[in-house]
């Protein structure tokens, strides 16, 4: 079922400022959508508005064609997985999965059958008689997902479900959630502050900041065509290089960018992975030069700091054999899609966008 927000705002009773301001979007059915943003951006708030745990101050929320704005969580039939898993510590795994079914007064035999199926789906069928305290974090997470799926929810909501797990397990569970979503086909909304996680798991990513939507698109679109500097900075690792343009930089770009756009541009953003040695493929046939400052190697990873017209930028595309002494001139090229120009409002004005394909 798709989820639609129309002019939704939220302010807490005793505070003047809005947490969310006039939000409009449509989350497509049957896909996995990530709400991504730094802490305090409004992503958990948005999730809670979808779940029905919060009620908007203004605006309407639709599930499909149905207005659910005034319905509570139960009536909206959502399933939810919490960051702390929120498993009932005194119940066994089986009892936890059964709990929503018991509340719905399902017949016992049917209930057990469904719970066992779900346990198989999330691979905890060997742990049914254990209590949550005896399980690892990943297993607890699996149980929480099974419980959320138990009542065949219209929408599955996951609130930072992986942030309590260690790094390796996080990758494993990320793929598991993706698999479970594909197998069940349930519309899934996933909140995270980790862009890498979002990039790997999502069909669609909604980036939020300061209570407004920055961009809502497929992961690759967001990476390749960020709407603004915030999105460009938030996505990608290492963080994109940003350069306040000076006249030297402008001179370098005169041949590449139309005059009127270059005149409006105030910031240049270049991805570290797009700063490459001369003669690489898929680059602008235009050499740049800088001064090599320092080079570090971390296992397979090499980062090189380059002073580009006095502004330090980072590249991770220079191999060890191109190392030279520090303070040495270093020529480089840029990937065609790896740099952006922003105007004074931080909106990306170059490259010009192909007309946006809106998914509604």
Partner 1 sequence: MNKRNLTKGLSYLILFLGALIMLIPFLWMVDTALKTAPETVQTPPTWFPKHWQFNNFVLAFKAAPFITYFINSIIVTFLTTLGQLVTTILAAFAFAKLNFFGKRPLFLICIGTMMIPGEILIIPNFVTLSHLHLINTYGALILPWLASVFSVFTLRQTFMSISDELYYAAKIDGSSDWNFLWNIMVPLSKSSIIAIVILQIIGSWNSFMWPLIVTNTDNLRTLPVGLSTFTSDAGTEFQLLMAASTIIIVPIIIVYILLQKHIIEGVSKAGLKA
Partner 2 sequence: MKNKKITLKSTLVAYMYLSPMLIFTLIFNFYPIIKSFALSFYTKYNFYTDQVSAIGLDNFKYIFADPDFKKATINTLIFVVGVVPIAVILAMILALLLYRIKFLASFLKTIYFLPFVTSTVAISLVWQWIYNDQYGLLNSFLGYFNIKPINWLNDPHWAMFALIIMTIWKSLGFNIILFLAGLSNIDKRYDRVAQIDGANTWQRLRFVTIPLLSPMTFLITVNSVISGFKVFDEIYILFGGNPGPGSSALTLVFYLYRAFYTESQYGIAAAAGVVLFLIILAVTLIQFWYSKKHVHYV
Closer to partner 2 at the Cβ: 72 or 294?
A: 72
Rounded distance between C-alpha atoms, residue 36 and residue 209, angstroms: 9
Asked if 75 touches partner 2 (CB under 8 A), the answer is no
Q: How far is the CB of 193 from partner 2 (least distance, A)?
A: 20
Q: How far is the CB of 186 from partner 2 (least distance, A)?
A: 23
Q: How far is the CB of 201 from partner 1 (least distance, A)?
A: 22
CB 220 within 8 A of CB 339: no
Contacted by 89, from partner 1, partner 2, none: CB < 5 to 8 Å by type: partner 1
Closer to partner 1 at the Cβ: 86 or 239?
A: 86
Asked if 296 touches partner 2 (CB under 8 A), the answer is no
Asked if 48 touches partner 2 (CB under 8 A), the answer is yes
Please pick, from the candidates 7, 55, 282, 353, the single residue that binds partner 2 as defined by CB under 8 A.
55
Please pick, from the candidates 37, 52, 132, 226, the single residue that binds partner 2 as defined by CB under 8 A.
52
Please pick, from the candidates 9, 28, 53, 351, the single residue that binds partner 2 as defined by CB under 8 A.
53
Please, how many CA atoms are within 13 Å of residue 18, restricted to the half-sphere of its CB? 16
Contacted by 141, from partner 2, partner 1, none: CB < 5 to 8 Å by type: none
Q: How far is the CB of 30 from partner 1 (least distance, A)?
A: 21
H runs (alpha helix) in the chain: 43-51, 73-76, 93-103, 108-121, 137-150, 167-184, 195-201, 219-224, 229-234, 247-253, 259-264
SS3 262: helix
Rounded distance between C-alpha atoms, residue 34 and residue 294, angstroms: 37
Site for partner 2 in 340-359 (CB under 8 A): none
- Phi and psi (nearest 5°) for 62? -120, 140
CB burial readout 176-185, b (16+ within 10 A) else e: bbbebbeebe
Rounded distance between C-alpha atoms, residue 104 and residue 286, angstroms: 66
Contacted by 112, from partner 2, partner 1, none: CB < 5 to 8 Å by type: none
Q: Which of 233, 225, 234 is nearest to 194 (CA)?
A: 234
Closer to partner 1 at the Cβ: 99 or 340?
A: 99
The two tokens of residue 222 are 């967001």
Residues lying near partner 1 in the complex (CB under 8 A) = 51, 53, 72-74, 78-80, 82-84, 86, 88-90, 99-100, 103-104, 147-148, 151
Judged by the rule CB under 8 A, the positions of this chain that interact with partner 2 are: 10, 12-13, 48, 52-55, 72-73
């Amino acid at each position: 079922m798709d989820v639609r927000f129309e002019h939704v705002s939220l302010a807490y009773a005793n505070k003047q400022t809005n947490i969310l301001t006039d939000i409009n979007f449509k989350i497509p059915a049957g896909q996995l959508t990530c709400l991504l943003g730094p802490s305090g951006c409004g992503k958990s708030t948005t999730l809670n508005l979808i779940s029905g745990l919060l009620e908007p101050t203004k605006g309407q929320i639709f599930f499909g064609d149905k207005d659910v704005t005034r319905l509570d969580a139960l009536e909206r039939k959502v399933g939810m997985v919490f960051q702390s898993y929120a498993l009932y510590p005194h119940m066994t795994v089986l009892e936890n999965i059964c709990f929503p079914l018991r509340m719905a007064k399902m017949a016992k035999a049917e209930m057990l059958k469904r719970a066992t199926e779900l346990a198989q789906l999330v691979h905890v069928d060997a742990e049914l008689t254990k209590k949550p305290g005896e399980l690892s974090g990943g297993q607890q997470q699996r149980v929480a997902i099974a419980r959320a799926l138990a009542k065949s929810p219209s929408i599955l909501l996951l609130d930072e479900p992986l942030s309590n797990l260690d790094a390796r397990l996080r990758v494993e569970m990320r793929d598991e959630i993706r698999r479970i979503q594909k197998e069940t086909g349930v519309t899934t909304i996933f909140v995270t502050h980790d862009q890498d996680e979002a990039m790997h798991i999502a069909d669609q990513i909604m980036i939020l900041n300061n209570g407004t939507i920055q961009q809502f698109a497929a992961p690759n679109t967001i990476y390749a065509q960020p709407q603004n500097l915030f999105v460009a900075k938030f996505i990608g690792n290492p963080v994109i290089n940003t350069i306040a343009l000076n006249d030297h930089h402008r001179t370098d770009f005169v041949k590449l960018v139309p005059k009127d756009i270059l005149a409006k541009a105030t910031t240049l953003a270049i991805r570290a992975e797009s700063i490459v040695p001369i003669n690489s493929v898929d680059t602008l046939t235009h050499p740049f030069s800088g001064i090599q400052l320092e080079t570090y190697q971390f296992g397979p990873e090499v980062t090189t700091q380059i002073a580009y017209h006095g502004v330090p930028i980072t590249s991770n595309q220079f191999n060890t054999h191109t190392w030279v002494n520090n303070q040495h001139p270093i020529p480089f090229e840029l990937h065609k899609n790896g740099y952006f120009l922003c105007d004074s409002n931080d909106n990306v004005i170059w490259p010009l966008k192909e007309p946006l394909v809106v998914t509604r």
